[in-house]
Amino acid sequence: MSAASQALFANRWLPVLLVTPLALLIVVFFYVPIIQAFYWSFFLERPFGGGSIFVGWANFARVLADPQFWQAGRRTLLFMVVGSSLAVLIPLILAVAADRAIALSQPARNVLVWPKGVAGASIGVVFAFIFNPFVGILAPLNHWFPGIWNPGIDGTDAFITLIAAHVWGGIPFNFVILLAGLQSIPRTMHQAAAMDGAGPWRRIFDVQLPLIMPQIFLTLVLEFTESVTSAFALVDTMTQGGPGGATMLLVYKIYTDGFAGYDLSGAATQTAILMVFVILLTSAQFAFLGRRISYER
């Protein structure tokens, strides 16, 4: 209906009226908070309405000089790279398998979307229990090799638990998108490749994967943002940032600085930095990766 513009209605005020409710909510609860985060990052904000003083770049200098900020930044980056690679790779392998006409394909398509109904915080609570060093599934291992597994003390163990929970929750969306991509590949493509002598294994790499590059790219982009921003529920229910800051991701640090430490300026400054990072990351991915992928079908 966008094709023929003469078919559109020409009312002047009706569309304004229609878009206003949503636009108002978005201005108040999206744009105002974003502007305020940048505004606060240049002011020393006192909690409980104690007024504010303009301090220029002092907040940024303070945050950037803080080793804890850099540690949280590195942890966030590591979580982003490892977490989102696995959260795309595992659903990709599952989607390629589920695309075949085998008995398990239908039950798998059903079961693999279930995590969508389990909240991040519930996943965290459950995984914290399953990987509990004293009563969890790895407790017998500790019995034979004392101290080999303890997410409460060992930072690496805690990080692995966090990633396992993150990937579990990320399977449904990525699986559905990638499978939809695989299924939209015309059968004739497979047949033509088979005629040319490409076996079923070879066709995965030479036909299927190149043709669903747009979907792989898209899930990766969304997964990057998702892993930077939505790990809060997992960290809060599983590790609270510990042990020793090993799982202190930036979203969680912003929360603790702002709500527990009442350091509003510091939290707002870190929010501003994180937002710029996410925006740059997304744009860079579209600029560099997006261009190399042919969207032709």
Least distance from C-beta 44 to another protein, angstroms?
Answer: 15
Q: Which of 175, 178, 179 lies closest to 114, judged by CA?
A: 175
Tallying the residues shown for the chain, one arrives at 297
Return d(Cα 71, Cα 155) in angstroms, integer.
13
Amino acid at 5: S
Tell me if 137 contacts another protein by CB under 8 A. Answer: yes
Does residue 5 interact with another protein by CB under 8 A?
yes
Stretch that binds another protein, among 51-59, 60-68, 80-88, 121-129 (CB under 8 A): 121-129
Footprint (CB under 8 A) of another protein, residues 143-202: 168, 171-173, 176-177, 180, 190-191, 194, 199-201
**Nearer residue to another protein within complex by CB, 187 or 291:** 187
Site for another protein in 17-36 (CB under 8 A): 17-19, 21-23, 25-26, 28-34, 36
**Which 211-270 residues touch another protein, going by CB under 8 A?**
215, 218, 225-226, 228-230, 232-233, 236-237, 251, 254-255, 258-259, 264, 267-268
Name residues contacting another protein, limited to 91-110 (CB under 8 A): 93-94, 96-98, 100, 102-105, 107-108, 110
Least distance from another protein to the Cβ atom of residue 222, Å: 8
Residue 9 within binding range of another protein, rule CB under 8 A: yes
Amino acid letter for position 209: L
Smallest distance, Å, CB 126 to another protein?
5
Residue 208, judged by CB atoms within 10 A of its CB (0-12, 13-18, 19+), counts as buried
Q: Which is nearer to another protein, 283 or 294 (CB)?
A: 283
81 binds another protein (CB under 8 A): no
Residue closer to another protein, measured from CB, 22 or 65: 22
Q: What are phi and psi of 11, to 5 degrees?
A: -55, 145
**Closest by Cα among 218, 190, 180 to 95:** 180
Q: What is the 3-state secondary structure (H, E, C) of 222-241?
A: HHHHHHHHCCHHHHHHHCCC
Closest to another protein by CB, 53 vs 279, is 279
**Which phi and psi (to 5°) does residue 52 adopt?**
-145, 150
Asked if 85 touches another protein (CB under 8 A), the answer is no
Token output for 243? 């042990």
Positions 43 through 62 that interact with another protein (CB under 8 A): none
Whether residue 162 contacts residue 232, with contact meaning beta carbons closer than 8 Å, is answered with no
7-20 core/surface letters (b: 16 or more CB in 10 A; e: else): eeeeeeeeeeeeee
Distance of CA 246 to the CA centre of its chain: 19
Task: For residue 129, state whether it binds another protein (rule: CB under 8 A).
Answer: yes
Query: Is residue 2 a contact point for another protein (CB under 8 A)?
Result: yes
Using CB under 8 A, pick the residue from 69, 79, 87, 124 that binds another protein: 124
Instruction: Please select the residue that binds another protein; options are 120, 151, 170, 243, rule is CB under 8 A.
Output: 120
How many residues of this chain interact with another protein, rule: CB under 8 A?
110
CB of 132 to another protein, least distance (A): 8
- Using CA atoms, how far apart are residues 125 and 75, in angstroms rounded to an integer? 21
Q: What is d(CA 224, CA 227) in angstroms, rounded to the nearest whole number? A: 5
What's the one-letter identity of residue 31?
A: Y
